[in-house]
Structure 1
Amino acid sequence: MSSGKYSAISGAMGRMEKLNSISEQLAALKTPGYKKGVTTFAARLGEANSGMATQATNYTRLTSPEIDFSMGSIEYSGDPLDVAINGDGFFKIKLPDGSVGYARKGNFQLNGDGQLIDTNGYPVLGQDGKEIVLPEPDVEIMTDGTIWNGEQQVGKVGIFKFADTSVLRKRGGEMFVPQDDSQPVLEPNPVLLQKNLEGANVNMMKTMADMTSNLRAFEATQKALKIYSDMDSKASDIGQIQ
């Protein structure tokens, strides 16, 4: 098989991965706190570093997955348990296995025991790392995260920051977990907006343009693959001439 055929196949596979990423972004347009993935490509020159090759084959490969943590737009929802983070940081969520995850999605609710939970039913943790229990949903959440029921403070939402967000990987649609033992620090001056939600950081027009561009690139790799296949077929026919 022609080495160019391998290059075309690797290019097509890379573009398919890019299309999968774009499809996920479009599906999550209305998901609060969603952070889009960034798909990047790198060229790998086969045997180019060995110093012994007479020629090098250019392959396309995906680099390590990255996440764009830029803020989405903040929109008013009117629900007293909806909270948007205006700035950096994450809510801390207790996962079923006892570990914790981090999220920007702030459309919370109360379960039957009065625990503040996310849309997955996982408890939201306070500044002290404990679960938050509220007497009723109609509470007042201040910009610093303190929660008041009338004149009584009944909890405080914790906002946590990572020095390097590149250590975070997606776990599910809107949850993030560190891939190593990195630990966040408590944000001392958070800015929370009650009755608001942060939208997905996906620009629909730009994403649609990226999809069109990527489809054209995918079609180009298909044409290249056909050309190399035809070349291999003709070379095989020539080799059979006696």
Structure 2
Amino acid sequence: MTELKDLLDEAAGDEPGITDADLSADLTRGRRALRRRRTIGVVGGTVATALVIGVGWSILPSGTTTDGTPAPAARTTPAPTQASTPTHIPGGLPNDHRGAPPIPTTPVALVANTKAFPGKITCDLIPKGWAARISYPAAEKDDWEQQEVFDPKLRNTKQYHEVSFSMVVRQVEMTDNGEGLTADKYTEAWTKLPKVRAGKKEAVITLGNSRDGRREVHVRQGKTTHLIAVANNAYNLAWDEKTLLKFAGSCHYKK
């Protein structure tokens, strides 16, 4: 066996040595491969970030002007008219093609509220002739709840899309996961979000323009972590942004 191995070694000749050039070439190829992987990672991360930002800004508020009034966002929507009532209401089920209730020629007036809402939150103002009810009660004392502000005179509501004729008022608690206090539906800390004023309170509002009152507002209650979210889906209010902010600013937790 040893003689056979010696014969094979002689036939194969000396094993070629590894030179500095070979090591340099291997190192170069390794660096190129690493750069390619990093490039792919960066591109992939950029695409992912762009998607996140796109989704985030679909729900983030518009900016404000220097005097604190809401500034129109870059993306605008036409003023609502009776003829432009859509058959699909944003936020509703995609297969629910019922229309929205008629849009009145004159917006529903915002008046003083003489009857406290039934839940943990009440508002000092209310659409004239409207009422409030608890739509999602708290299971326990410290659980969150949700209320609905609606027009009790609106008939045959089943003919309309269910999220097209009421406002939702709900509890929101900001939490800190290491990046600052953050509200639900927002990926950035509260301190980084563009602010508007809801009455005397600090607030953020979803994208839209000053003519569009069918939006959502998060209103901070003083310097606390408590927010009140008001989502106006009611076409039959015909409100603008200014009226929505005025109403939302009047809402507060009961003492």
TM-score (norm 2): 0.23
More strand by share: 1
Tell which structure's C-alpha radius of gyration is larger: 2
Higher RCO (C-alpha 8 Å, min separation 6):
1
TM-score (norm 1): 0.24
